[in-house]
Homo-oligomer: A and B are copies of this chain.
Amino acid sequence: MRFRLTPRETSFYDLFAISADNVLSGSKLLMELLAAEPATRVEIADRMRAAEHAGDDATHAIFHQLNSSFITPFDREDIYRLASRLDDIMDFMEEAVDLVVLYELQELPKGVAQQIEVLHRAAELTAEAMPHLRTMEHLNEYWIEVNRLENQADQIHRKLLAHLFNGTYEAIEVMKLKQVVDVLEEAADAFEAVANTVETIVVKES
């Protein structure tokens, strides 16, 4: 038996929605990064760091709530996993921006823009999906689509690796760029992990 609408539990839903909205803000900053002149990237990195801190606060609030709640709207381990994976996405996105600034990368390969567009679409779907955890409806489309996006991200990532190693770039440049494309791929994987956790929650409830 579950008690869905007590104030305490409601706030889990609110906190997940806040965390996912924050991820969406992060993905918008990645889109800005693509269009930005190298000189303005530092300012974008600052805003990304602020977004990442806001995400940490949301994650921390969920863990605190989890540790002090006797009744939870779904399994504790799933709440823990969902919050952790949302937090991972922010960490990876922030790391990507940070590396671009730190290594003073100039032009980014076209595939990086494609990676970021996929991440942005996944972020939109994730932010739309979180409020549906309350009713557990309309979540199938979400996780199917995010799994499809992750496959697409995989293909883009593979092509990028082949491109980086095809002899165009010097070894040091390959190392720098590879770190960026790998961390963006990790962000895509983390979106899929969030979607799979949501699927687990829905299956248990059905």
Contact = CB atoms under 8 A, between A and B. Distances in A.
Interface stretch (A1-9, A107-115, A116-124, A169-177): A169-177
Interface centre among A68, A103, A165, A170 (most CB of B within 10 A): A165
B171 A165 contact: no
Contacts of A68: 203-204
A165 B175 contact: yes
A135 interface: no
Contacts of A200: 63, 67
A156 interface: no
Sorting the interface of chain A by its residue count into under 10, 10 to 19, 20 to 34 or 35 or more gives: 20 to 34
Contacts of A134: none
Nearest to A205: B67
A68 B67 CA distance: 25
Interface secondary structure of A, over-half rule: helix
Interface string A158-197: 1001100101001110111010000000000000000000
A138 interface: no
A35 to B, nearest CB: 25
Nearest to A201: B67
Nearest to A170: B171
A194 to B, nearest CB: 15
A175 B164 CA distance: 11
A173 B55 CA distance: 36
A87 B190 CA distance: 17
Nearest to A99: B161
A158 B99 CA distance: 9
